[in-house]
Amino acid sequence: MLLEHINQPQDLKKLSIEQLEILAGETRQFLVEKLSVTGGHLSPNLGVVELTIALHYLFNSPYDKFIFDVGHQSYVHKMFTGRMAQFDTLRKYKGLCGFVKRSESEHDVWEAGHSSTSLSAAMGMAVARDLKGEHNKIVAIIGDGALTGGMAFEALNHIGHEKKNLMVILNDNEMSIAPNVGAMHNYLAKIRSDKHYMKAKEEVEYLLKKIPAIGGTLAKTMEKLKDSLKYMLVSGVIFEELGFTYLGPVDGHNLPALLETLKQAEKIEGPVMVHVLTLKGKGYLPAEADSHTWHGASPYKVESGKMLQVVGHPMYTQVFGDTLIELAKLDNRIVAVTPAMPGGSGLLKFAKEFPDRMIDVGIAEQHAATLCAGLASEGIKPVFAVYSTFLQRAYDQVVHDICRAKLNVVFAIDRAGFVGADGETHHGVFDITYLRSLPNIVVMMPKDENELRHMLKTSIDYNEGPIAVRYPRVNGLGVSMDEPLKSIPIGTWEVLRPGDSAVVLAVGPMIAIALEAAEALSKDGLQLRVVNARFIKPMDEAMLLQFSKEDLPIITMEEGAQMGGFGSGVLEFYANQSRYGMQIKILGVPDYFVEHGSVKEQRQEVGLTAERLVTEVKALMPRKRQHA
């Protein structure tokens, strides 16, 4: 096995081209086997095996810098940079990260997780290199999906203008997570698919090479025509217009062709775009056949290609999708908008049922948000289905275009709270903080999947401005969902368990944890009142005033940043009411980025557990007795 002798990129350089091709096969086998146990981003990584081999074969990482966009396709890079032995811990707690990670290796020069940052980072590194008088290569590897991100266009605009020496490898597999969308996608498809065009291009390029030998006036005329001919036939003319030298498209699985093109690119001054055509999922038939499903694979059986289904009640995501269909049947104002996550957001069935009321804008959260504002300004009821972490990308649009204008946009915020294996770049732990501080917005979170249904109904019925319902990346609790949809009065909480020792104001999945703690405390004679604080904004002020009258110690519990979160809101409320001397404890996510692992491990790490709540309630008791 060649693979076992690859401990560092230099080991690749000792191999012949034939051996590199054998190594590609062994690398795929390694990925398919390892990820059948750990799960992970299988199809993206199977698509970049030859490309990653070629990059490490030709260039000298970490002196030459590889910047992976998103970073979910960096497993092969990690294999060749000394981390093969750690793949059993991929995306596990304290194990190998599923994205590029500077702390793991000197070869990991740029961290991401969110899309479309690689070109800006590459430009920054190129400017830095030139200011320092260094001469290393800078290579950004960006997918066709990530290229639909606005940041990528901002960077292309700047790079093409500044003409810095850097290389952009466009890994074009025609897929985002789902099939890619947009005009850029269509343009790339034209380049990819126009075989006659490619043939003509080859013939004319052959002729252009012969011009000097033709001699006489024809040669002079052809010489004059050369640029316009080249211009006409350079397939990536859009990139050439932006100041790049475009090379390709080249077969991303043909190592000799890849190596030749990259060697050619290396010699070119200024920015170069190398257009590489790959097959997402290459080499593993189930992933080739359905690279959408195999984009983020659960553990699976290699032979059958059957993913091991997680047994449990429907995910909140599925309940969202089903409920939105139910609501959309009754209300034709409803339009769903997704930034390239139709599957992850649970909208595939909706898209089938209402094809003309489902909009996938590509990886373009900023555009998606203001598109929703435009829709709402004309009386449509847009439902912006977005992961909490990716909504961060559109913060100004939420502030400037939606909240300030008080437009009736519904935010269906999925992956709210810890997300598990994707880790720190993907947790939805900041949206409570960044939304509750905005005027005109309602923010709520259900206690279970049935209440999610009612909150969606509430959102559609609400016409006083923007409203957000956030829900976690977990299975529901298995509660009944038979009752007819009903609106919930805005700003009302509910007491789920009575008690007069202390009050816990719990948000979303923290409620189940609070009920477990209450049960344990009752065995010690302490009665914890459990409140479903389902409206983060506006809060139930009547209930808050009641608690201060009863002089009850209060604990808030949220799977979100403590800084500026729901608990902060409770503190602010009492401070503004001049209710001094209240005993209030905030349980949330501390002020650091929580790494990958399982949701359970992440909650354990930050103390969002029943045991912790029991301890905190007991710690508040003596002072309460002192009062008496």
Q: Which residues belong to the annotated binding site for Mg(2+)?
A: 144, 173
Q: How close are the terminal C-alpha atoms of the chain, in Å?
A: 75
E strand or H helix at 570: helix 566-576
Quick one: which of 108, 422, 449, 540 contacts ligand DXP (CB under 6 A)? 422
Q: How far is the CB of 361 from ligand DXP (least distance, A)?
A: 16
Residue 363's binding partner out of ligand TPP, Mg ion, ligand DXP, none, with CB under 5 to 8 Å set by partner kind: ligand TPP
CB 602 within 8 A of CB 92: no
- Cβ proximity to ligand DXP: between 454 and 596 the closer is 596
Position 275 contacts ligand DXP (CB under 6 A): no
Beta bridge partners of 381: 334
Please list, in sequence order, all residues whose beta carbon lies within 8 angstroms of the beta carbon of residue 480, skipping any fewer than 6 positions away. Answer: 450
The closest of 359, 312, 308, 268 to 477, measured between CA atoms, is 312
- Cβ proximity to ligand DXP: between 50 and 414 the closer is 414
CA–CA distance, 496 with 514 (Å, rounded to integer) = 10
How many residues in the chain?
Answer: 628
Quick one: which of 145, 281, 417, 597 contacts Mg ion (CB under 5 A)? 145
Tokens 């055509």 correspond to what residue?
277
Position 101 contacts ligand DXP (CB under 6 A): no
Q: What burial letters (b/e) apply to 448-481, b meaning 16+ CB within 10 Å?
A: bbbbbbbbbbbbbebeebbbbbbbbbbbbeeeeb
Quick one: which of 282, 415, 470, 534 contacts ligand DXP (CB under 6 A)? 415
Quick one: which of 12, 54, 156, 177 contacts ligand DXP (CB under 6 A)? 177
Q: Cβ of 427: how many Cβ atoms within 10 Å?
A: 27
Q: Among 280, 282, 436, 473, which one carries the catalytic annotation?
A: 280
Take residue 482 and report the two structure tokens written for it. Answer: 């038979």
Position 402 contacts ligand DXP (CB under 6 A): no
Per-residue CA distances from 469 to 339, 396, 411, 461, 573 (Å): 17, 19, 6, 13, 22
- Cβ proximity to ligand DXP: between 59 and 99 the closer is 99
Binding to Mg ion (CB under 5 A) within 374-433 occurs at none
Position 72 contacts ligand DXP (CB under 6 A): yes
Position 70 contacts ligand TPP (CB under 6 A): yes
Quick one: which of 9, 182, 271, 296 contacts ligand DXP (CB under 6 A)? 296
CA–CA distance, 413 with 468 (Å, rounded to integer) = 7
The 3-state secondary structure of 24-44, one letter per residue: HHHHHHHHHHHHHHHCECHHH
CB 47 within 8 A of CB 169: no
- The binding site comprises 72, 113-115, 144-146, 173, 284, 365
Q: What burial letters (b/e) apply to 369-380, b meaning 16+ CB within 10 Å?
A: bbbbbebbeeeb
Question: Which 8-state DSSP code applies to residue 527?
Answer: -
CA torsion sign for 154, 156, 161, 162 is positive
CA–CA distance, 324 with 500 (Å, rounded to integer) = 39
Near ligand TPP by CB under 6 A, which window of 17-25, 158-166, 335-343, 535-543?
Answer: 335-343
Quote the distance between the C-alpha of residue 291 and its chain's center.
Answer: 17
E strand or H helix at 224: helix 216-233
Size of the site for ligand TPP (CB under 6 A): 25
Question: Which 8-state DSSP code applies to residue 133?
Answer: T
Q: What number of CA atoms fall less than 13 Å from residue 476's CA on the CB side?
A: 20
- Cβ proximity to ligand TPP: between 115 and 317 the closer is 115
Position 111 contacts ligand DXP (CB under 6 A): no
Widest Cα–Cα separation across the chain: 109
- Cβ proximity to ligand DXP: between 64 and 69 the closer is 69
- The binding site for thiamine diphosphate comprises 72, 113-115, 145-146, 173, 284, 365
Quote the distance between the C-alpha of residue 489 and its chain's center.
Answer: 33
Position 177 contacts ligand TPP (CB under 6 A): yes
Closest-by-Cβ residue to ligand DXP is: 344
Quick one: which of 344, 382, 466, 476 contacts ligand DXP (CB under 6 A)? 344
CA–CA distance, 377 with 129 (Å, rounded to integer) = 47
Near Mg ion by CB under 5 A, which window of 103-111, 140-148, 511-519, 597-605?
Answer: 140-148
Q: Give the β-pairing of 410-414 and 554-561.
A: unpaired
Q: How far is the CB of 274 from Mg ion (least distance, A)?
A: 15
Position 360 contacts Mg ion (CB under 5 A): no
Near ligand TPP by CB under 6 A, which window of 4-12, 333-341, 461-469, 584-592?
Answer: 333-341
Quick one: which of 436, 447, 473, 603 contacts ligand DXP (CB under 6 A)? 473
Near ligand DXP by CB under 6 A, which window of 125-133, 143-151, 415-423, 496-504?
Answer: 415-423
Position 114 contacts ligand TPP (CB under 6 A): yes
Position 73 contacts ligand TPP (CB under 6 A): yes
393 is catalytic: yes
Near ligand DXP by CB under 6 A, which window of 15-23, 191-199, 414-422, 451-459?
Answer: 414-422
Size of the site for ligand DXP (CB under 6 A): 10
Positions that interact with ligand TPP (CB under 6 A): 44, 47, 69-70, 72-73, 114-115, 143-146, 171, 173, 175-177, 280, 339-341, 363, 365, 390, 393
Question: Which chain residues interact with Mg ion by CB under 5 A?
Answer: 143-145, 173, 175
Known catalytic residues are 280, 365, 393
Residues in the site for ligand DXP, rule: CB under 6 A? Answer: 70, 72, 177, 295-296, 344, 415, 419, 422, 473
